């Protein structure tokens, strides 16, 4: 197993790595896989938003104040999709969530996935998972559906992620579905989908 595959296994499967360590060295021609820098970015964001109890780092507390009644906000971050089986398949990719508080609507997209495929190392996955027409409320219910493919694997996933706003004022969101409708190469599987995102700067 290569270095990136080991790092992905540690960071994603165990969901335990901290940030840092990625700086520089991921430019074209450097010989460093740019996905390694993405892992560092995701890991640092996870710690900022969700915290790291083992290191005594507190995450962002749930929103207690009123949600905005007008305007819009864009959140960017990452999503992890775990497909359980004899050998788990774990993918991680970019996530974007757009909220329109004035119309109480939400939409988004998760794409750019990559992960360690048993016997194939780290592979990219094309396709996307789309969040569509979800209502904006304190307890988010984000309906999604999509398909991903790579390394001879075809994934179809759909369901509803339950989410919460974080921060006063709102600065982040976290959402998950612990029982998505999921198939791998046409075979029904169990798994999880998790999204973590922070509000983009105005």
Residue 50 per-residue DSSP state: H
| Tens digit of each residue's pLDDT (9 = 90 or more) over 2-29 | 434 444 443 443 333 433 333 333 444 5
Check pLDDT > 50 for residue 109. Answer: yes
| Tens digit of each residue's pLDDT (9 = 90 or more) over 141-185 | 999 999 999 999 999 999 999 999 999 999 999 999 999 999 999
Tokens 């990136």 sit on residue? 4
Query: What is the reported pTM?
Result: 0.82
Q: How confident is the model at residue 201 (pLDDT cuts 50, 70, 90)?
A: low
Closest by CA position to 129, among listed 111, 143, 153: 111
Tokens 């996870």 sit on residue? 46
Task: Give dist(CA 176, CA 163) in Å, integer.
Answer: 6
| Tens digit of each residue's pLDDT (9 = 90 or more) over 26-72 | 444 556 788 888 999 999 999 999 998 888 889 999 999 988 888 88
CB 89 within 8 A of CB 118: yes
Section 121-140 average pLDDT:
88
Q: How confident is the model at residue 116 (pLDDT cuts 50, 70, 90)?
A: confident
CB 117 within 8 A of CB 89: yes
What length does the chain have? 202
Cβ neighbours of 20 (radius 10 Å): 10
CA 138, 48, 177, 135: dihedral to nearest 10 degrees?
Answer: 30
Check pLDDT > 80 for residue 86. Answer: no
Residue 54 per-residue DSSP state: G
Cβ neighbours of 102 (radius 10 Å): 12
Task: Give dist(CA 17, CA 9) in Å, integer.
Answer: 10
119: which 2 tokens? 């016997």
Section 85-90 average pLDDT:
84
pLDDT score recorded for residue 47: 94
Closest by CA position to 171, among listed 61, 93, 69: 61
Closest by CA position to 94, among listed 45, 142, 27: 45
Closest by CA position to 100, among listed 120, 74, 127: 74
Closest by CA position to 73, among listed 174, 170, 196: 170
């Amino acid at each position: 197993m290569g270095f990136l595959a080991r790092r992905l296994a540690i960071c994603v499967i165990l969901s335990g790595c901290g940030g840092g360590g990625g700086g520089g060295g991921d430019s074209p021609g450097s010989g460093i896989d740019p996905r390694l820098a993405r892992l560092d970015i995701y890991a640092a964001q996870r710690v900022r938003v969700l915290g790291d109890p083992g290191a005594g780092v507190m995450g962002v507390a749930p929103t207690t104040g009123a949600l905005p009644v007008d305007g819009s906000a864009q959140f960017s971050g990452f999503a992890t999709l775990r497909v359980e089986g004899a050998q788990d398949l774990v993918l991680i990719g970019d996530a974007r969530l757009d909220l329109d508080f004035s119309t109480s609507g939400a939409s988004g997209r998760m794409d750019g996935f990559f992960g360690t495929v048993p016997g194939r190392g780290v592979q990219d996955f094309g396709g996307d998972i789309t969040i569509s027409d979800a209502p904006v409320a304190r307890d988010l219910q984000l309906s999604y559906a999509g398909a991903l493919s790579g390394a001879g694997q075809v994934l179809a996933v759909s369901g509803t992620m339950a989410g919460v706003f974080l921060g006063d004022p709102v600065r982040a969101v976290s959402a998950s579905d612990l029982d998505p409708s999921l198939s791998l190469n046409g075979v029904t599987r169990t798994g999880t989908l998790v999204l973590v995102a922070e509000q983009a700067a105005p």
